[in-house]
Chain A
Amino acid sequence: MPLVDLDSLLTIPRIGEILVVGPSNSANLAFIEALCPNIEKGNSDFIWGQMQASSDLELFFYGLCPAVSYREFAWDLVAPKLLGIVVLFDWYETQAKDIQDLVDFLIHKTAAPIICAADACHKPLPFREAVYRPPIALSRRCKFTFCQSSRATFVRRTVISLLDMLLNELG
């Protein structure tokens, strides 16, 4: 009799974790809600969402509000397991220099790919699609794109771009 039941091992659902660092809880919630049927709000700065990507892969999304909590986040526990990070920011309201330190912080804290998503929110996107799709590379680990967190299609595209980066890294 085998010591390990390989069939049951192979069918254990795998969990991938994606961090969404957004400008506000409402922005994080809109982004994660566009993907996840199951949402939980922990304390006021933290949102968790779950999505069944396939029969044996679940994706967990953690929404984190950078102005309040990103330096106090449990990076040591979470960073090694992260599949990727979405840095969501308001294209029209946020100054780039306010995000610059956050991007450098995340690059040093994790080895995960990062996609910076400029959120046009409910306003029109400032450029035609060819300008930002496929995302613009800042480095192998960090790319830039535009999205509208109010529209599920754009949110999905952003996450797919992030997963593409991960697959390219593995390949």
Chain B
Amino acid sequence: MKEENGGRLPEGLKFQVLCRMLKGKRLGVLMEKLNDAQCLELQRFVWEKTLEFGIRAKGRRFTQEELLARLKAAEAHKSDMVYGFVFKGLNRFNLASESPELIRAKMQEQLDLMCRVANQFIEIQMSE
């Protein structure tokens, strides 16, 4: 059952997201209990934290554009893609033209991809 909580992510959930990022665990599984607005909020939060880890690792001059390039490069080398798509940064999917399941699957992959890149910044291996 999806939690009805608007688009707000509770701090407790953000805490769990951050712990999973720091332990190199996949994030996509966390979407199962979230409504669509919360999934978008989760994507935004993970983007911000990935960028923050990039800045912490590489200094203040690290930019969103550099992060986007890292994500695109990481995706290009990914062999087990279920759906071929270009990472769109914070651009939202076309909600009207794509099925909810497909959008969620893409978002799950984006989250795990961002987590993987964040793990590179903080120098840990993804474990599960």
| A positions within 8 Å CB-CB of B | 96-97, 99-104, 107, 114, 116, 118, 126-127, 130-131, 136, 138-139, 141-142, 144
| B positions within 8 Å CB-CB of A | 10-16, 18-20, 22-23, 49, 52-53, 56-57, 122, 124
Other-chain contact of B18, A104, A127, A130, A136 (Cβ < 8 Å):
A136
The answer to whether B122 touches A138 (Cβ under 8 A) is: no
The answer to whether A97 touches B16 (Cβ under 8 A) is: yes
The 7 closest A-B pairs by CB, nearest first: A96-B19, A104-B12, A100-B12, A103-B12, A138-B14, A96-B16, A142-B11
Given A130-B57, A131-B122, residue A100 in contact with residue B13 (CB < 8 A): yes
Complex alpha-carbon distance, A115 and B19, angstroms: 14
Q: Is the interface of B mostly helix, strand, loop or mixed?
A: helix
The answer to whether A141 touches B11 (Cβ under 8 A) is: yes
The answer to whether B53 touches A138 (Cβ under 8 A) is: no
Write the nearest CB–CB distance from B41 to chain A, whole angstroms: 12
The answer to whether B11 touches A104 (Cβ under 8 A) is: yes
Can you report 21 A-B residue pairs in the complex whose CB atoms are below 8 A from each other?
Answer: A96-B15, A96-B19, A96-B20, A96-B23, A99-B15, A99-B19, A100-B16, A101-B12, A102-B12, A104-B10, A107-B10, A107-B12, A127-B22, A127-B122, A131-B56, A131-B122, A136-B18, A138-B15, A138-B18, A139-B11, A144-B15
A sample of 16 more A-B contacts (CB under 8 A), given A127-B22, A138-B11, is A96-B15, A96-B19, A96-B20, A99-B12, A99-B15, A100-B12, A100-B16, A101-B12, A130-B57, A131-B22, A131-B53, A131-B57, A136-B52, A138-B14, A138-B18, A144-B18
Complex alpha-carbon distance, A126 and B127, angstroms: 15
The answer to whether A107 touches B18 (Cβ under 8 A) is: no
Chain A residue numbers with a CB within 8 Å of B52 are: 136
Chain B residue numbers with a CB within 8 Å of A139 are: 11, 14
Other-chain contact of B49, A97, A136, A141 (Cβ < 8 Å):
A136
B10: nearest residue on chain A (CB-CB)? A104
The answer to whether B15 touches A116 (Cβ under 8 A) is: yes
The answer to whether B49 touches A103 (Cβ under 8 A) is: no
Chain A residue numbers with a CB within 8 Å of B14 are: 138-139, 142
Most A-side CB within 10 Å, residue of B11, B15, B16, B56: B15
Chain A residue numbers with a CB within 8 Å of B56 are: 130-131
